[in-house]
Amino acid sequence: MSVGTAEYQTRIWKTKERMALKGIEVLLITDPANMNYLSGYDGWSFYVHQMLIVINDEDQPIWVGRTMDANAAKITTWLYHDNIISYPDTYVQSETKHPMDFVADILKQIGQDKRRIGVEMENYYFTAKCYEQLKKGLPNATFQDATLLVNWVRIVKSDQEIEYMKKAAVLAELAMNAGIEMINEGVRECDVAAKILYAQVTGTEEFGGDYPAIMPLMPSGEKTSTPHLTWTDTRYKANESVILELAGCYKRYHSPLARTIHIGSPSEELKKLAQVTVEGIEDCLSIIKPGIALEEVCETWTKSIAKYGYTKESRIGYSMGLNYPPDWGEHTASIRKGDRTILQPNMTFHMIPGMWYDKSGFEVSESFRITENGCETFANLPRGLYVKNEALIR
Domain coordinates in residue numbering, the chain: 5-154, 157-388
CA–CA distance, 93 with 185 (Å, rounded to integer): 47
Model pLDDT, residue 55: 98
Of 17, 11, 22, which is closest to residue 143 (Cα–Cα)? 22
Contacts of 326 (CB under 8 A, 6+ apart): 124, 213, 214
Query: Are 308 and 272 a contacting pair, CB within 8 Å?
Result: yes
CA–CA distance, 122 with 127 (Å, rounded to integer): 9
Model pLDDT, residue 392: 44
Model pLDDT, residue 37: 98
Q: Return the amino acid letter for 77.
A: T
pLDDT of residue 394 exceeding 60, the answer is no
Query: Are 288 and 335 a contacting pair, CB within 8 Å?
Result: no
Sheet arrangement for strand 240-250: 240-250, 253-263, 386-388
CA–CA distance, 163 with 28 (Å, rounded to integer): 29
For the chain, counts of helices (H) and of strands (E): 10, 16
Provide the H-helix boundaries in the chain.
5-21, 32-39, 70-76, 99-109, 128-137, 149-154, 159-182, 189-202, 268-287, 294-306
Percent of the chain scored above 90 by pLDDT? 96
Beta bridge partners of residue 376, listed in sequence order: 369
CA–CA distance, 96 with 127 (Å, rounded to integer): 16
pLDDT of residue 2 exceeding 80, the answer is no
Kindly report, residue by residue over 302-325, the tens digit of the pLDDT.
999 999 999 999 999 999 999 999
Q: What is the CA radius of gyration of the chain?
A: 23
Kindly report, residue by residue over 175-206, the tens digit of the pLDDT.
999 999 999 999 999 999 999 999 999 999 99
Contacts of 154 (CB under 8 A, 6+ apart): 33, 34, 37, 321, 322, 330, 332
DSSP-assigned letters across all residues of 361-385 = EE---EEEEE-SSSEEES-----S-
Angle, helices 189-202 vs 159-182, to 10°: value is 150
Question: Global pTM?
Answer: 0.96
Tell me the pLDDT band of 295, cut-offs 50, 70 and 90.
very high
CA–CA distance, 169 with 151 (Å, rounded to integer): 22
Q: Beta strands 329-334 and 348-351: pairing type?
A: unpaired
Tell me the pLDDT band of 391, cut-offs 50, 70 and 90.
low
Calculate the average pLDDT of the chain.
Answer: 96
Kindly report, residue by residue over 42-80, the tens digit of the pLDDT.
999 999 999 999 999 999 999 999 999 999 999 999 999
More confident residue, 357 or 341: 341
Q: Write out the CATH class of domain 5-154.
A: alpha beta
Model pLDDT, residue 324: 98
Element holding 349 (H helix, E strand): strand 348-351
Beta bridge partners of residue 118, listed in sequence order: 27, 144
pLDDT of residue 390 exceeding 90, the answer is no
Arch. (CATH architecture) of 157-388: Alpha-Beta Complex (3.90)
CA–CA distance, 228 with 387 (Å, rounded to integer): 22
